[in-house]
Amino acid sequence: MKPQVLKEELVATTPVEESPLEATEEEARRLFRAIFRTEPPLLFCQWFTKVPESVFPPFTPGMWKSYRRVLSRGPDLEALELASRLTGRNRILVYKFRLVIYLAECCPELRDYFINRRDLPTIVAWGTLATAKLHTLWKLVKGLALLVHYPGS
C-alpha cells in the first residue's frame, strides 16, 4: 500500500525560486525592526507584501542579489541604508526603507511615533535634537564602515 501524500506537503517541500520583486512578511519584519525596534503591526505586513512592483524603478538581477545578501546578513540595516543613500549604493535598500516609512505613517498604532504631542522645555528640546543628530552621525559612520567591510553590499 502506497502512503498518500497531501498536495500541501508537496508544495511545502518543493523549493520554489522566489521572484526578486515579491516582498515577504519576513522582509517586512526585518526592515520594520531595523527602524522602529519593535514588531510590525499585522496591517503593516499585509500592506508591505501587497505593494506592486511598479512602485520601484527597474533593477538588475545583480542588484536584487546584493539586496537579498545584505538583508540576510543582519548588519545594522538602518546605518547601511543611511550610508547607501549618501553614496548611491544599495538603491533597493533605500527604496524599501522609504516604503517602510511611508506605510508606517499610515498605521494607527504608530501615530504617536510620527506626531509629537509633548510640550518640552526649550533646553530639553534642544538636547533631544542634539542627541538625535549625534545618533545620526554615529549611524552614518557605522554605515560607511559596513559598506567598506561588506564590499558586495
Q: How many CA atoms lie within 13 A of 43 on its CB side?
A: 8
DSSP secondary structure, 74-107, as one string: ---HHHHHHHHHHHT--HHHHHHHHHHHHHHHT-
Return the higher-pLDDT residue of 46 and 75: 46
Write the single-letter amino acid at 73: R
- Is the whole model's pTM more than 0.85, yes or no? no
Name the grid cell of 49. Answer: 507584501
Q: What is the C-alpha to C-alpha distance for residues 139 and 42, in angstroms, rounded to an integer?
A: 28
Please give the backbone phi and psi of residue 115, each rounded to the nearest 5 degrees, phi first: -115, 120
Q: Which residue has the cell 516609512?
A: 101
pLDDT digits (tens, 9 = 90+) for 91-150: 999 999 999 999 999 988 888 888 777 788 889 889 989 999 999 999 999 999 988 887
Name the grid cell of 7. Answer: 498536495
